[in-house]
């Protein structure tokens, strides 16, 4: 990376891609220190940063022990591993909207690193990852959980369990106004239509949501169930309208106390997509 670029312009956005274990945290601190006063958005894509990187540090390079990134508001971590998520010497005092995407079992590293200033958090995970451990001081206003099941035999029970553990792990939900849950399933070719949650799955999810409802903070709940049909022929899988209406009726019955409140907006969305486009979108406001 041309360090001269970082010193010559007031950089506001920076994305680091493919940073492997060859590079260590000294190199990272050096880069971030040069734009710490102006950088508002920072992204790591496919990075593995370690304190034990083997690349030599240039003699002329100096890196402060602590980097105070006061301007940073948004942070995106996509498949970013190891010490990146555990760096006490990189301070993010005004971070508002962190995003963490990971399909491996490392999601628990992110939560203690999110400062109490964060009001929005997006987690994109697989169903077999470990639910996060949150800082005792964190008070979220908006939480988005984008989850992809890994085993069809326990498709929705495992997902509902993960969501429950995640929300139960929040130290305080008094400020949680918006909850977005997105479940994406990739079926095999022999399925003629999407598999839907059982009534017991909706009941389990309601048990998780009930404290949020009773506390009076929750104002918007968005549940999206998406089927990715990239691996199957598009005409082999459909969303029968009668079936989605039956799902809506079940949700209304099970979640009655939530859906009947005038001050809570509940949206239920069914999607059929491929890797490039949306084939069907059915949206219901309960």
For the chain, the domains span 11-93, 96-286
Q: Distance between CA atoms of 116 and 276, rounded to whole angstroms?
A: 37
Residue 122: how many CB atoms within 10 A of its CB? 17
For the chain of 286 residues, list the mean pLDDT of each consecutive stretch of 10. Answer: 65 82 71 89 78 50 76 83 58 83 56 72 84 83 88 73 90 91 71 73 87 80 79 54 79 76 80 72 78
Q: CB-based contacts of 45: which residues, under 8 Å, 6+ apart?
A: 15, 16, 17, 18, 76, 78, 79, 80
Query: Measured in Å, how far apart are the chain's first and last C-alpha atoms?
Result: 51
Q: Minimal CA–CA distance to 9: which of 41, 43, 40, 35?
A: 35
pLDDT at residue 136, rounded to an integer: 83
Does residue 71 contact residue 36 with C-beta atoms inside 8 Å? yes
Residue 253: how many CB atoms within 10 A of its CB? 11
pLDDT at residue 248, rounded to an integer: 84
- CA angle 208/242/199 to nearest 5° reads 25
pLDDT at residue 60, rounded to an integer: 47
pLDDT at residue 38, rounded to an integer: 92
**pTM for the predicted model, two decimal places:** 0.78
Q: Is 229 left (phi over 0), alpha (psi -120 to 50) or beta?
A: alpha
**Tokens at residue 202, please?**
């909706």
Q: Distance between CA atoms of 62 and 36, rounded to whole angstroms?
A: 15
CA dihedral 98, 69, 135, 266 (to 10 degrees): -30
């Amino acid at each position: 990376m041309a360090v001269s670029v970082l010193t010559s312009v007031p950089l506001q956005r920076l994305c680091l891609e493919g940073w492997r274990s060859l590079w260590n945290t000294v190199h990272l601190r050096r880069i971030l220190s040069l734009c710490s006063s102006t950088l508002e958005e920072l992204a790591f894509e496919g990075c593995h940063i370690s304190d034990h990187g083997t690349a030599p540090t240039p003699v002329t390079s100096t890196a402060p022990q602590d980097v105070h990134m006061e301007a940073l508001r948004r942070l995106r971590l996509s498949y970013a591993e190891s010490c990146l998520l555990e760096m006490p010497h990189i301070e993010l005092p005004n971070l508002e909207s962190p995003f963490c995407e990971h399909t491996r079992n490392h999601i628990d590293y992110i939560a203690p690193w999110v400062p109490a200033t964060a009001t929005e958090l997006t987690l994109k995970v697989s169903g077999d990852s470990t639910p996060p451990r949150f800082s005792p001081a964190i008070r979220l206003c908006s939480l988005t959980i984008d989850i992809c099941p890994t085993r069809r035999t326990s498709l929705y029970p495992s997902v509902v369990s993960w969501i429950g553990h995640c929300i139960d792990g929040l130290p305080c939900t008094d400020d949680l106004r918006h909850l977005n849950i997105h479940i994406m399933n990739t079926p095999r070719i022999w399925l003629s239509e999407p598999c839907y949650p059982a009534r017991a799955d909706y009941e389990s999810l309601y048990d998780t949501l009930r404290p949020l409802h009773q506390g009076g903070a929750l104002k918007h709940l968005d549940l999206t169930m998406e089927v990715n049909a990239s691996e199957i022929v598009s005409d082999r899988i459909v969303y029968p309208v009668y079936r989605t209406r039956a799902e809506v009726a079940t949700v209304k019955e099970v979640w009655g106390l939530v859906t009947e409140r005038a001050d809570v907006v509940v949206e239920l969305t069914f999607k059929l997509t491929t890797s490039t486009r949306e084939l069907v979108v059915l949206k219901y406001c309960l």
